[in-house]
């Protein structure tokens, strides 16, 4: 039984691919490589280049591998960027998801797991946030994800598709075995940015707002280890395979840490007292958002393994140091740079496959890693 992983070359998607492969599952990846990396995927996993909104690419892929389950990670995820470029977010997160839902239903896919976000809640009236907390997104990112959620619910109700929607809080850390981790160019996630500062890739770290109504004036977030997050997806998959009804669940630990607490944790782990600059608030940032994860624990039987800020920071820092040791520091540079991938297939071969309207395999499995 093959599982299609959209965005499987990205940060969270690549962790999911490794986890499924470890379990003896057969993941199949489709990614447009706008932010993912070929090296982030195990060498024996089929990887295709394509846009998940392109039904002429996705349909043959589902048919070829007999896909009956999809885990959908592909999309854009930066809140400030969504404020500046809202239409791109509505295309990537909403329109492309709509196309994927349609082709999944038409192709007979039976189970679907959707990556969503706590940003759908906006600035909640109380914490911790439950799944019944009113949705009130502050950014196009949150709005675009909630629109995708709504479409999936409606389509599933009409066509019998069963799903789990997972609303992520702040995902951080890296694979404890350091097989993959976050290598986003120009990253904005706090723990990733702090790790870059700790290893010298950033001269300083900026704190956006120190006048919030929180104990130290900085924003509070619920940070979940990426390993625990992908474990939640595995529990969701088992739940659906067991006949479970469709669900929407929060993914977090149920406790938050401030920006300054995270920075101090990274300083302690790294031994580097890197500079901090306080600047104005960013649009779309709530003061505090912490998950109630009781529903996920109770319904899926999920239990975290890495619920410790120091451990999350330690794994993120170890990954950053590995990037440096590999000579991949450019992947984590504070200034976004084009990072060339090794040629995927020859131009002639690629063009022939494009002309046939089928997904383009990154390279034959035997030669992809040479």
Which of 290, 291, 298 has the alpha carbon at shortest distance from 247? Answer: 298
Q: Given 3-state DSSP classes, what are the helix, strand and coil percentages for the chain, each rounded to the nearest 5? A: 40, 15, 45
Rounded CA-CA distance 293/299 in Å is 10
Task: Report phi then psi at 149, rounded to 5.
Answer: -55, -45
Secondary structure (DSSP) of 234-291: HHHHHHHHTTPPPEEEEES-S--EEHHHHHHHHHHHH-----EEEEPPPTT--SEE-B
Q: Which residues contact 326 (CB under 8 A, 6 or more apart)?
A: none
Residues annotated as part of the active site:
141
Residue whose C-alpha is closest to residue 113's, from 15, 253, 246, 310: 246
């Amino acid at each position: 039984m093959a599982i299609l992983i959209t965005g499987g070359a990205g940060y969270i998607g690549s962790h999911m691919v490794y986890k499924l492969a470890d379990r003896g599952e057969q993941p199949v990846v489709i990614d447009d490589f706008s932010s993912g990396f070929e090296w982030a995927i195990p060498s024996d996993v089929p990887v295709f280049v394509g846009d998940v909104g392109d039904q002429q690419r996705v349909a043959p892929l589902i048919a070829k591998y007999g896909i009956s389950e999809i885990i959908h990670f592909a999309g854009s995820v930066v809140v400030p960027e969504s404020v500046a470029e809202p239409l791109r977010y509505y295309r990537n997160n909403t329109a492309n998801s709509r196309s994927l839902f349609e082709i999944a239903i038409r192709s007979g896919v039976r189970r679907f797991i959707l990556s969503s976000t706590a940003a759908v809640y906006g600035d909640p009236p109380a914490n911790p946030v439950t799944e019944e907390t009113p949705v009130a997104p502050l950014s196009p990112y949150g709005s675009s994800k909630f629109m995708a959620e709504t479409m999936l619910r409606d389509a599933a109700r009409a066509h019998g598709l069963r799903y789990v929607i997972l609303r992520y809080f702040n995902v951080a850390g890296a694979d404890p075995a350091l097989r993959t981790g976050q290598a986003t160019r120009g990253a904005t996630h706090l723990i990733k940015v702090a790790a870059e500062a700790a290893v010298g890739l950033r001269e300083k770290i900026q704190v956006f707002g120190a006048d919030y109504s929180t104990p130290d004036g900085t924003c509070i977030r619920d940070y979940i280890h990426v390993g625990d997050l992908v474990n939640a997806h595995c529990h969701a998959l088992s739940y659906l395979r067991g006949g479970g009804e469709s669900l929407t669940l929060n993914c977090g630990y149920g406790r938050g840490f401030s920006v300054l607490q995270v920075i101090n944790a990274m300083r302690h782990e790294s031994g580097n007292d890197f500079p901090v600059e306080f600047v104005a608030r960013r649009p779309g940032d709530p003061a505090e958002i912490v998950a109630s994860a009781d529903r996920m624990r109770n319904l899926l039987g999920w239990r975290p393994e890495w619920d410790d800020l120091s451990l999350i920071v330690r794994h993120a820092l170890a990954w950053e140091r590995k990037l440096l040791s590999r000579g991949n520091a450019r992947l984590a540079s504070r200034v976004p740079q084009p990072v060339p991938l090794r040629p995927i297939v020859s131009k002639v071969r690629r063009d022939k496959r494009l002309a046939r309207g089928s997904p383009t395999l990154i390279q034959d499995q035997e030669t992809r890693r040479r």
